[in-house]
Structure 1
């Protein structure tokens, strides 16, 4: 029985599957723990086996000639020997490849047991997937057999395949996917309702959730509460700058603050008006990540730069992590950001230009995707805002994509220069890319992105086309061994996306406070700010890391 099972496998399918597996072991954007790498390699093998088996079936279907038995045996032996040699050579290089990423990100090397753990996990995953697909094929064959009794053979084959696919899809969708999504929704909703130890409603009059707010404290999620009560106070800012300071205004409409995007936006605007947000010098409309998180590394430094004379307003639109939300509900961030921006912008434009704050947009990750779509240029043309700062824009960000595609010749896709740099600029760990002779215009749009961020550089097109950012030169945080392989690179970077924040600060999707400081200084150009202030602020936030919940 075991021999029959072995013989049932397609040698060519196994060969292509092993090619996919070996390619998946090469580095991509992020370092991987053994389990993640093993699952990826197992999936890659299963996909490759399916591709190889599919080519063999197509060859047979269109009448391609078969090798004579003795020649087929020789071909099988050659393919098997090549496969074994390739697997041995590839697994011997795993540690080198993984460490090539880790060394760039100041992470420790993998241990000697890494290849064996990867191999074990990959074998289990590959076998499970292959036999699941075989089970589906067996079901299709059974249905085709039943239909062949009453229908012509070709019609029975086509209809049987469609019915089998429909049954499997329905079962998986209804009993696996939907239940998994419901379970995830329950877990994330419960997480959003937690309140961290020591976090209590604000006691001053300049934050949502307090006594003077129309936003109920219990309607605000855990990340929103953290934003409202943490960060530098008036006293902290004054002590740092040595100048008079104001208490920063923080407005946040929680997911429970309204039944839809527009309702939450109106509540946020009401708090912003009541707190005197339009009387401050700087107003930032911030779109959070999927969980309602506003990165303190991004939000806190800018309050120091403007002596607390600043208001930040935001509204939560979901409680699902960004990487999942962008798959199942990508438009929520756009719709929510648009609703809040319109409320704020309409009120702002009615104010006299010399008696209103500078208006900026901010967004991280899924928040960047929503924020950049919230203010179209047609709306802004008569009365433009002052600028925007977007970090880690996901691959679905349309404005970012157009600017990257339209970059100046010779500038890399991971740090583009766009036209004269007066309107749009890009930056990474090494600073802002500025075309020669360029000066900022009245409206300043800045993107912060790292070359190793899969949330930014993932694309379905990776399956069949080499990405521009994989050319030379490449970002300093991208492994020199990272190369493009059809389908496999798509799987690799796709697996990187959920792990995007697993890197140290300054790499992947974990953006460093020092880069935010440089970005905000460039975009908002704070008055009365000195180089010494910048140095001390950099010292204050060196090593600062705040992980999202």
Structure 2
């Protein structure tokens, strides 16, 4: 036996047999299909974290048995041989299981029209898994080092039997404080400063400030062009021009009003909402046929596929207003500023609603609300419940709503027997409709639509996936997802977590990219006069051609 082989064998004798077996099971499960195909890097990360977490959990029974004295010296001698055999079986199983999963992974990529040979370098999976395990081992070693130092001090003051438990608690506190106060806080401060600076910097590749008085940052606007932020400036610059409106909406068109209030424009949500109302008054937004309130994503991005259909359907006689609440990408914004999206949307809705109530009822514009992803979470959070939303607004389109939305959870709780979690039907509220494809919107009586794809990881990820099987995985699966998809503890949570990172990496109509489905939703819920199938298809082709530029 070579020196390396002996070292590896010795390594396995110090590992947990139960942990190794469970880790192998977790590794095999991590290679199964999820909502979206995975690159070799993400597959390696998922597999590595699955193996690490499950192995550590599997170590607990053995440690408990040793601590209670159940495992004596004789048992330990036998376990050495078992561990050595189990370890070598695990080494052989890793590449074998990987190769056995190859046909399924290739089929996933090919179904979406991708060349899988460049996207799934299976040899790289093993390398990434090893990297994750090494990183995990170093972190574990660090924690044990901290524990040892703490235990050495504590054991001098209290009995050993008590010192062990106290040291574990103190170690957890020290590690938590170090991660939260040092690593996390410094990371957030750094990314906030970088994003804030980028928002204020008007780059040479950005459009110049508008001259139209109907746009924020333009002529007579109280909002400076730089204060709108990068995404706010893009939103204003993307307003459809009269030629495009005439081509699809007819000859009698108006320039749409667009208002955007950047985070730098005022310090509080209320102050920004007041600025938005004043901008709407200045631009004549309250005199338009439709007033659309959009809650943007974390960076301030507004999806044109949500806004432009309303502008075309009403020949530009619209006003759209959005308010930035963060500089950060949505996942980071939610972690660091969990209530920001909701508080911002609520402040804007309150301010606009108060202004509308001061107007004669016959002069008030239709009030529509919309949002995507974190914006959908924030926008829906501005309402007390579904009935409140339907009562206070004339229509809504919520795209890719995360599961922490109270309104979405309410719809799932109130759904009719036999109604699926992915398409809940609330009999007492026919105005609310959930859909994931055109046919599910056709002929609907709904005025308030929730759009959610069955393969959108943003929609279906939640912490409870780690320990609880969700209804949508107990019910018949949607044709958009693999029929072999099933729930497994820990593994499914990690898979869907990684799916979020690639949720927008595919083409329109896949994952978290909804393409022109909002167009269809607005068409069905607003029922604009004169928009037959031919006109709708022409507009859909136009918006579809511009889709990549909207991101």
Q: TM > 0.5 between the two?
A: yes
Indicate the larger mover: 448-457 or 162-171: 162-171
Give the match for residue 253 of structure 2: 245
Is 1:115 aligned to residue 115 of structure 2? no
Q: Which residue of 2 aligns with 1:20?
A: 26
CA contact (8 A) 1:295 1:546 kept: no
Query: 1:279-428 counterparts in 2 under 5 A?
Result: 279-376=287-384, 380=388, 384-419=392-427, 422-428=430-436
Structure 2 partner of 1:256: 264
Task: Answer with 110-119 or 256-265: which moved more.
Answer: 110-119
1:233 aligns with 2:241: yes
What's the CA shift for 1:57? 1.4
Is the contact made by 2:13 and 2:81 (CA closer than 8 Å) also made in structure 1?
Answer: no
Distance 1:124 1:378, change over 3 A: closer
Secondary structure of the 1:410 match is coil
Matched residue, 2:519: 517
| Cα offset, 1:15, TM superposition | 2.3
Match of residue 489 from structure 1 = 492
Whether the aligned pair in 2 keeps the contact of 1:323 and 1:497 (CA below 8 Å) is no
Structure 2 stretches of 5 or more lacking a match? 1-5
Q: Does 1:11 align with 2:17?
A: yes
Name whichever of 104-113 and 536-545 sits farther off.
104-113
Secondary structure of residue in 1 paired with 2:292 = strand
Q: Unpaired segments of 5 or more residues in structure 1? A: none
Counterparts of 1:262 and 1:165 in 2: how far apart (Å)? 40
Which residue of 2 is the match for residue 60 of structure 1? Answer: 66
How far apart are the structure 2 equivalents of 1:156 and 1:538?
68
Q: Which moved more, 1:61-70 or 1:175-184?
A: 61-70
Task: Identify if the C-alpha distance between structure 1 residues 353 and 155 changes in structure 2 by more than 3 Å, giving closer, same or farther.
Answer: same
Structure 1 CA distance for aligned equivalents of residues 153 and 355 of structure 2: 68
Residues paired across the two proteins, number: 543
Q: Name the SS for the 2:116 alignment partner.
A: coil
2:528 equivalent in structure 1: 526
The whole-number CA distance in structure 2 between the counterparts of 1:509 and 1:199 is: 28
Q: TM-score, normalised by structure 1?
A: 0.92
Q: Secondary structure at the match of 2:484?
A: coil
**What is the distance in 2 between the residues matched to 1:87 and 1:467?**
29
Q: What do residues 149-186 of structure 1 show as CA deviations (whole Å, max 9, x unaligned)?
A: 33211121122222222222233333322222222223
Counterpart-to-counterpart distance in 2, 1:266 and 1:281: 21
> How far off its partner does 1:113 sit?
6.2
Query: TM-score normalized by structure 2?
Result: 0.92
Tell me, in whole angstroms, the C-alpha distance in 1 between the residues paired with 2:273 and 2:426: 33
Structure 1 residues 193, 480: CA separation in 2 closer, same or farther (over 3 Å shift)?
farther
Do 1:301 and 1:517's aligned partners in 2 also have CA atoms closer than 8 Å? Answer: yes
Distance of 1:191 and 1:526 partners within structure 2: 40
Secondary structure of the structure 1 residue equivalent to 2:260: strand
CA distance in 2, matches of 1:29, 1:421: 30
CA distance in 1, matches of 2:361, 2:119: 64
Q: Which moved more, 1:96-105 or 1:25-34?
A: 96-105
Counterpart pick for 1:475 among 475, 478, 487: 478
Kept after mapping to 2: 8 A contact 1:349/1:383: no
Please identify, of 57-66 and 362-371, the stretch whose mean Cα deviation from structure 2 is larger: 57-66
Residue 163 of structure 1 pairs with residue 160 of structure 2: no
Instruction: Kindly report the root-mean-square deviation, in angstroms, between the aligned alpha carbons of the 2 structures.
Output: 2.5
Q: Is the 8 A contact 1:287 1:315 kept in 2?
A: yes
Distance 1:110 1:406 in 2: 46
Q: Which of 151, 158, 162 in structure 2 is aligned with 1:151?
A: 158
| Structure 2 equivalent of residue 30 of structure 1 | 36
